Structure 1
Amino acid sequence: MTKIAYYFQKKHQLIDNQSYYLKLSVIIGIVLTIFVYTFDPYDNYLAIPKYELPVKIIQLGYGINTALVIYALYWLFFHKLKSTNKKRTWKTYHHWLLLVAIMSVAGFFGTIYHRFMMDVGEVATSYYLFVTIPRSIMISVPLFIISILLDQLYTNKTSLEVVKASLQTIHTEEKIQSDEKIILKSPVVNQCIEIIPSQIGYIKASGNYVEIYSIEDKKPQLLRASLHFIAERLATYDFIIKCHRQYYVNIHKIKARKGNSQRILLTLNGMKEQVPVSKSYTKTVLPYLK
């Protein structure tokens, strides 16, 4: 779900691409032409052409009409009107509304084209209500499905590359941030210590102090503060989680575990002391251990 949400947030980067919606227009036009050839939803073979043209040529016009509508709408929204930019992100409901617009406009022009090319005689209002509208809906359904499938096919190749690149950038930024030194200041006395979050093995409450054990340090750093106070200062580093009422552990440093659901002991890289996981925090820690 996270990838899907991220994809729609970045959707405008993909749709604002003329080659994409040109391909989309042509493919849907071809598929819709095949659909009209196969099912003849406009009953062309029952009507009389106004011009001396084969029915197959007239039916080809429906596909061309649809392709032009799709390309025109995409060009209008993303090239002319600049509907998406850094401040106006293309969202999920925008995508659905665009598809509805494509179906509505394509159906409208398709009906006009049909009346222009075929001699249908006098048409009663009831015919429009009970035949023309249901027929347009019938044509809209495959058009809608085709649009979604083609869009998914395109984004499987393109958007995943964008997502991977963006996630890699985010991961790199987080790594750089976690490798930078930060200063923790005691709320009680005039005391400060420097730590590198990514190097923390675990944090332990010890009376009025907190002991911070880092991988490269032989001795823990002591700070006059509560465990809750330290946890708030390190809240942005999601790899440091609470595993016991007196302990926080860096999940990236976990080497092994032993015990059962009642009590687990964690072995950390480069550290001799084992870190306990209490029963109440087992469900929180276990997913990281798997």
Structure 2
Amino acid sequence: MLKEYLNQPYPRVHKSWKYAIPLSIFIALFMIVFQPFGFSDYKGSKIIIGSGYGLVTLVTLIFDTIVSRIFFKDWFEKKEWTVLKQIIWQVCVLFTIGLGNSLYASWINGSWGFNMFLAFQCYTVAIGITPIVLITVIQQNRLLTENLKSAQDFNTQLHPKDEIAGNEIVSLLSDNEKDRLDIELSQLLYIESSGNYIEIFYTKDKAPKSMLLRSTLKRTESQLEPHPSVVKCHRAFLINVDKIIHVKGNSQGLRLVLKHTDTEIPVSRNFSKSLKDKLNSLT
């Protein structure tokens, strides 16, 4: 049971600085007001020294964010992020904050030792581990509940169409306008952005196919304006809404299940409302 819960999806926070600033302020105020772990014995202004701990926390969090994006990019892939990874990452953050605080304290005291390092690790974990676990669990449950309800709302609007041959032709051109794909709209499943290319997923004789074209998703979207059933649901995806058969929800967001493919297409929060409006207009 616990293993299953820890392996549940969890949303990655990309704008970490929004959380770094309030957390740093909290640490500074906590040190100033409660003066724990011998802080009351420090000489000098408690406000200035306590604010220093908040500043160290801010700098450490920014450093952690930069390092994680550069050196651990694959590990931080959003689609693979889980509750367990979130807790492990937050504990790693606590470790670096404890290290930063121990170095700051040694600078104030004029000395540093391994015992001080261990002491600050214990202090940081003691203060931070409980709120980290609670916030992670509460956030995961809240988002899961919201997205399951949203998925249910989407599913009530779905009216999958029968597979019929259509004469409406979709023409997709590459940047150099030499390579192209012409297919019937009823064959198109979805289009995914992949660097400087787009990958078009479609069916031919009811078998899934794909093709790469050198083009941007924005350019492709403009080519598909005459076809209102093709809409953007994510910064990297265009989908044919006629192919949606089910909408799933988890704590990371909504995912679309389409005909003829096992790939589940993510729906960004920014595009959720426009996708719902599009489904309404086509029913």
TM class by smaller structure: 0.3 to 0.5
Q: Which has the higher contact order (CA 8 A, sep 6+)?
A: 2
Structure with larger Rg:
1
Q: Which of the pair is proportionally richer in helix?
A: 1
Using structure 1 for the length normalisation, give the TM-score: 0.43
